[in-house]
Amino acid sequence: MIILIDIDEVLADFEAALTSEWQKLYPHTLLFPSGSRKHYYIGQDEEGNKSELVSKIIHREGFFEQLQPLPGAIDAIKLMQHYNHQIYLVTSAGVSYPNAASEKYRWVERHLGKEFLSCLVITPAKSIVRGDILIDDRPSFRDERLASWEHVLYDKSYNKTVPRKRRITWENWTDELPELLT
Ligand SMILES: [Mg+2]
């Protein structure tokens, strides 16, 4: 099978790095109520829009490159490869921060090895990438009905209300996606 996997919040712990930077800069303000992030875009919540401050942090040189892998993520990819699935990392890098693409490139090389660089697809239009499954924390995609893949949600507090999609974490994916273990 062709498995497409998102990077931010699925392989790389974007939220932890951002929260830690936020606490250093604004120790008296919560980025979002603890444990209950409800918005896919961090900083957009009922307590006021913090998007501008958030983008200042994430556009700092080195932000993407220093993200830690989420526990179990790298092992999951290795196990999928063991079962001979083709893995592609599909991520968007935006247009407002030109270094994001090269930092993601280096992140993949560091955590998955040089040979994985040929499996990195950088595009905001994930629906045009062909695959059997897309594992992504984003609640939905533009033109999703035209996509060849099934969207499997990477389970997060901010996508809990999305109905009728399978959802996984790196703790339970082998139970939820048994077809990947054949
Ligand atoms: Mg993501």
- 181 CA → ligand 1 middle, Å: 24
pLDDT values of the chain reduced to their tens digit, one per residue, 182 residues: 999 999 999 999 999 999 999 999 999 988 887 667 888 888 776 566 788 888 899 999 999 999 999 999 999 999 999 999 999 999 998 777 888 999 999 999 999 999 999 999 999 899 999 999 999 999 999 999 999 999 999 999 999 999 999 999 999 999 999 999 98
How far, CA to CA in Å, does 63 sit from each of 13, 24, 68, 158? Answer: 11, 14, 11, 22
Task: Note if 137 is an active site residue.
Answer: no
Distance CA 127, CA 130 (A): 8
Distance CA 179, CA 182 (A): 6
- 9 CA → ligand 1 middle, Å: 5
Which tokens hold the place of 98?
A: 């030109």
Task: Note if 8 is an active site residue.
Answer: yes
pLDDT computed for residue 45 by the predictor = 67
Averaged confidence pLDDT in the chain? 93
- 49 CA → ligand 1 middle, Å: 20
pLDDT computed for residue 81 by the predictor = 96
Q: Which of 8, 45, 136, 137 is catalytic?
A: 8
Task: Render the chain in DSSP notation, one character per residue.
Answer: -EEEE--BTTTB-HHHHHHHHHHHH-TTS-SSSTT----SSTTEETTEE-HHHHHHHHTSTTTTTTPPBPTTHHHHHHHHHHTT-EEEEEE---SS-THHHHHHHHHHHHHH-GGGGGGEEE-S-GGGS--SEEEESSS--TTGGG-SSEEEEEP-GGGTT--S--EE-TTTHHHH-GGGG-
- 179 CA → ligand 1 middle, Å: 23
The per-residue pLDDT for range 105-152, each reduced to its tens digit, is 999 999 999 999 999 999 989 999 999 999 999 999 999 999 999 999
- 137 CA → ligand 1 middle, Å: 5
Q: Which of 6, 13, 45, 155 is catalytic?
A: 6
- 18 CA → ligand 1 middle, Å: 14
